[in-house]
């Protein structure tokens, strides 16, 4: 029997305990909820289903390059606004917002270091910065990195993750980076040097149609979306249902567009083996 004057409690009146944001992460593929720290310790790969979450460019470099050997190049380069682009946000406003949120000046980190003791030049795009799209700074930094690798006889590893392709805010200045990066890689290849292209989720549009698609060895992470135009746009255009798994890395491997699928935990070892097989003299083996 409830005594008179006693306060009545309900579920709605009980205050929830404060839980820090970001403590748990829900998998976008299987829906499993994982302790975020545990997920990060597993290279941001779902422990239950193996789904590969997005990594930042810095996290990529930390996972691939031997500790203490990475030297970043051209971090000071910043995009101009050649078109004076205006929209809901101007291009300058968009750049400043993403620079603040990511701590990057643009959508790629470039440099050189070692993988299992072997010299390598590396470029990694970051999908958090205007969808990892390629403007004049991204193209220039990748081109300079490839030219440095050619001069020093280093293999090149480019890790691509771009849902934005060529950056519309810069118009033709962005589109010309496709040809510029490919020309630099062609000279690198003519020198008998290795280019490994690593495709992550997503790698689309102008980036896939340029440097990401012309590696001597093209590898991809599992279930990565890879292509030029997204599947929904294609379906709306041709008015046909696309095959199951269309544009995922498994589909592209089966149809010969990529050479291998490599889980994130094995990427560094696989790249090291490929460098060892193809450049033993260069790397002192």
pLDDT by residue (tens digit) across 128-175? 898 888 999 999 999 999 999 999 999 999 999 887 788 889 989 999
pLDDT beyond 50 at 22? yes
Better pLDDT: 16 or 144: 144
Does the domain formed by 55-278 have CATH 3.40.30.10? no
Q: Where in the chain is the domain with CATH 3.90.226.10?
A: 55-278
What gap in Å lies between CA 253 and CA 232, rounded to an integer? 21
Q: Positive or negative CA dihedral for 125, 128, 132, 138?
A: negative
Contact 266, 273 (CB under 8 A): no
Q: How far apart are CA 105 and CA 101, in angstroms?
A: 10
- Beta-strand relationship, 33-35 and 24-26: antiparallel
Rounded to the nearest integer, the mean pLDDT of the chain is 84
Rounded to the nearest 10°, the torsion over CA 78, 43, 65, 180 is -40
**For 46-79, what is each residue's pLDDT tens digit?**
777 767 777 889 999 999 999 999 999 999 999 9
The CA distance from 121 to 56, in Å, is 18
User: What pLDDT score was predicted for residue 231?
Assistant: 73
């Amino acid at each position: 029997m409830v005594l008179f004057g006693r306060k009545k409690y309900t579920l709605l009146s009980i205050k929830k305990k404060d839980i820090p944001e970001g403590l748990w992460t829900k998998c976008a593929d299987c829906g499993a909820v994982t302790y975020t720290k545990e997920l990060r310790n597993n290279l941001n790969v779902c422990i239950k289903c193996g789904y590969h979450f997005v990594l930042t460019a810095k996290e990529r470099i930390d996972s691939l390059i031997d500790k203490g050997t990475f030297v970043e190049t051209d971090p000071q380069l910043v995009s101009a606004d050649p078109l004076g682009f205006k929209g809901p946000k101007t291009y300058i406003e968009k750049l400043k917002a993403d620079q603040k949120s990511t701590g990057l000046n643009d959508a790629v980190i470039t440099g050189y270091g070692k993988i299992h003791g072997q010299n390598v030049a590396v470029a990694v795009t970051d999908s958090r910065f205007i969808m990892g799209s390629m403007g004049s700074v991204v193209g220039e930094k990748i081109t300079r990195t490839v030219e440095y690798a050619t001069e020093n006889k280093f293999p090149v590893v480019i890790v691509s993750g771009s849902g934005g392709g060529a950056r519309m805010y810069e118009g033709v200045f962005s589109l010309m980076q496709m040809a510029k990066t490919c020309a630099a890689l062609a000279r690198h290849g003519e020198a008998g040097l290795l280019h490994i292209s690593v495709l992550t989720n997503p790698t689309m549009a102008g980036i896939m149609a340029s440097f990401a698609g012309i590696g001597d060895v093209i590898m991809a992470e599992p279930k990565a979306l890879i292509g030029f135009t997204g599947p929904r746009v294609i379906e709306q255009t041709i008015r046909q249902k696309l095959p199951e798994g269309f544009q995922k890395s498994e589909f592209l491997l089966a149809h010969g567009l990529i050479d291998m699928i490599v889980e994130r935990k094995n990427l560094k070892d696989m790249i090291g083996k490929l460098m060892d097989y193809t450049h033993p003299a260069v790397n002192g083996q």
